[in-house]
Structure 1
Amino acid sequence: MAAPRTNRERTETTRLALLEAARGLFVSRGYAETSTPDICAAAGITRGALYHHFADKRDLFRQVLAREAEAVAARIEASAAPADDARAALIAGSEAYLDAMAATGRTRLLLIDGPAVLGLAELAALDEAHAARTLREGLAAALRRDAAQVDALARLLSAAFDRAALEIDAGTDAGAMRAAMRELLTRAIA
């Protein structure tokens, strides 16, 4: 006989169900077309439970995006970690970013709906804590430039990577886009 679940386990199960249901609906319908009753129905949770865990739909969306951003950063860090050469690690991390962004709906969540719903400043802060941070750290390790130059280059390359992810998501030849990003990055760190 299984031990009864603790309050903490029940809380985490409910929270996870809401996050997963919300993610699915945000991906399939978009933020604007997804209602909290729809999320609750998909999760099998009451609206009271939703509002116990999240302040509102925007807060729930923010948490969905945080999980997505964490998954992207984890993929980058896992791919770049074994490389002894900082430049090789940076290139491996850039490939991992594009791989991570290929997850169904992730581009829509992080690059389309995210800025529209949360605003550029909040989304930039979320990115800075995750993928942008990994890019900046990789550039700092691969280049011997001052912090301001690394920061500027990281911002420009980050925008290029986001654009590449959007292009790939829209159906552009992924191989050609990946090759172009590799060349851009290689030239930037030469």
Structure 2
Amino acid sequence: MTATPRPNTPRTKAAQREATMAALITEGRRRFAHQGYADVGLADLVAAVGVTKGALYHHFGSKAGLFRAVVAQVQQEVADRVSAAAEHHPDDPWRQLVAGCEAFLAASADPDIQRIMLIDAPAVLGWHEWRAMDEAASGRLLVDVLTVLTGDGTLPAQPVPPLARLLSGAMNEAALWLAQSTGSADLAATTAALRRLLAGLRTHAGDPS
């Protein structure tokens, strides 16, 4: 008797693979955010998901590989929030810049995002890899809008890469400071300072909003 073909088996295996990876990333993200990378034990992590260490190593190679996937997810979420904020001003690149920077600062003020993206990621992945991942996500959006603004005269003509890195560094530092602050008005004050900083870059000073 001829066996009945099972055309859906590869798809089922692929779905199981994706489900396992998603579960490991979700649990890893929760633990990395609450405990910090160094204090996360793989035995407890995989037990919580219901898989073996071998499954984790198969999909991610190592604890650092899982963390890298978590960082990529977090950075993409931040980039999506920046992009969504900018899209509210489709015909005004200046307001796109301001709204995007404010969205980045607000997202980065989240303690879980701070711990994963700004505190542990540079130490675990190394500065160069972390910067490359950041530039591939929200950093690219910043470069794009600055290129438009220097091209249309809103900002003085200048090389964009150093300007983008200066702004990105300032916002990352502000987010780290907010992580240590206890004042309820600190985010609003930091956002106002960011608006003044951006307004000072314009060719002709105007409305900081």
**Among candidates 70, 93, 114, match of residue 86 of structure 1:** 93
Counterpart residue number, 2:77: 71
Residue type of the alignment partner of 1:59: G
Residue type of the alignment partner of 2:66: L
Structure 1: gaps spanning 5 or more residues: none
- Does residue 112 of structure 1 match 2:119? yes
Q: Structure 2: how far apart are the matches of 1:86 and 1:185?
A: 13
Counterpart residue number, 1:180: 193
Residue type of the alignment partner of 1:188: L
Shift of 1:186: 1.9
Indicate the SS of the match to 1:188.
Answer: coil
Write the deviation string for residues 89-117 of structure 1: whole angstroms up to 9, x where unpaired: 11010111122223341011111100111
Residue type of the alignment partner of 1:156: L
Please report the TM-score for the alignment, with normalisation by the length of structure 1.
Answer: 0.91
Q: Structure 2: how far apart are the matches of 1:76 and 1:112?
A: 20
Shift of 1:8: 1.7
Q: Structure 1: how far apart are the matches of 2:160 and 2:202?
A: 10
Shift of 1:38: 2.0
Shift of 1:79: 1.0
Q: Is the 8 A contact 2:78 2:107 kept in 1?
A: yes
Structure number, greater radius of gyration: 2
Counterpart residue number, 1:152: 162
- Does residue 15 of structure 1 match 2:21? yes
Q: Structure 2: how far apart are the matches of 1:53 and 1:27?
A: 21
Moved more, 84-93 or 104-113: 104-113
Q: Structure 1: how far apart are the matches of 2:98 and 2:36?
A: 32
Residue type of the alignment partner of 1:135: L
Moved more, 55-64 or 92-101: 92-101
Q: Structure 1: how far apart are the matches of 2:202 and 2:59?
A: 44
Q: Structure 2: how far apart are the matches of 1:16 and 1:64?
A: 10
Write the deviation string for residues 105-141 of structure 1: whole angstroms up to 9, x where unpaired: 1011111100111110000100110111111111111
Q: Structure 2: how far apart are the matches of 1:125 and 1:108?
A: 18
Corresponding pairs, count: 187
Shift of 1:156: 0.4
Indicate the SS of the match to 1:177.
Answer: helix
Q: Structure 2: how far apart are the matches of 1:45 and 1:127?
A: 31
Structure 2: gaps spanning 5 or more residues: 1-7, 204-209
Indicate the SS of the match to 2:199.
Answer: helix
RMSD: 1.8
Residue type of the alignment partner of 2:172: D
Q: Is the 8 A contact 2:106 2:187 kept in 1?
A: no
Counterpart residue number, 1:43: 49
Residue type of the alignment partner of 1:167: W
Please report the TM-score for the alignment, with normalisation by the length of structure 2.
Answer: 0.84
Q: Is the 8 A contact 1:164 1:181 kept in 2?
A: no
Counterpart residue number, 1:32: 38
